[in-house]
Amino acid sequence: MPEVVTDEDGITRCQWGTTAVDYISYHDTEWGRPESNEFRLFEKLCLEGFQSGLSWLTILRRREGFRAAFFGFDYNRVAGMTERDVERLVQDEAIIRHRGKIESTINNARMAQALVTEYGTLGAYFWSYEPADYGRPAATSPESKAMAKDLKRRGFTFVGPTTLHAFMQAMGIINDHMPACFAYAEVEAARSRFDRPSP
């Protein structure tokens, strides 16, 4: 399977970004763009956890449902959710009705609050794992493995090395667009301008 595909309009994209209509906009305008917004970072962390065992397309098509269910991924509000909310959400057809993943999102919101107390922002924590020299591994990186180990130590759940590598790809902490993809250069330029959050 080719790494990139050139459409009839002459635009060359990563192959995965052409496999469904929903993917094209996500690939072209979101994936890999550097992000520091607290709620966007928390959203992606949670949605990567929900994706475990599923396709990202399944999650992407339910993203608005997830946002409605979890207060736009305002982790301070999610942290206050109760067992009653869990029971309600396991009946919510707009999301993935997996009790363990719903409970994990609430748990991780509480852990995120503790992380912010220590680092000031979620961005400061996550961007501290940006590799100095990225070698484009297939599914994980030393940094995603280190982050997974640290987050698990802190009490986070559904945060394995593969999940966190995908999170780093999506949030622009690394640029995993194929070099021949039109977005690769755009992401590199955006990363060069990006003001990385610090503690």
120: left (phi > 0), else alpha (psi -120 to 50), else beta? left
Residue 129 among the catalytic residues:
no
Number of H helices and E strands in the chain, helices first, is 11, 2
From 176, 187, 180, select the one nearest 10 (Cα to Cα). Answer: 180
Q: Exposed, middle or buried: residue 183 (CB in 10 Å: 0-12, 13-18, 19+)?
A: buried
Q: How many CB atoms lie within 10 A of CB 14?
A: 24
Residue 125 among the catalytic residues:
no
The catalytic position among 26, 30, 119, 186 is: 26
Phi then psi for 60, rounded to 5 degrees? -60, -40
Reported residue count of the chain is: 199
The catalytic position among 23, 56, 75, 125 is: 56
Residue 56 among the catalytic residues:
yes
The residues annotated as belonging to the active site are 26, 48, 56
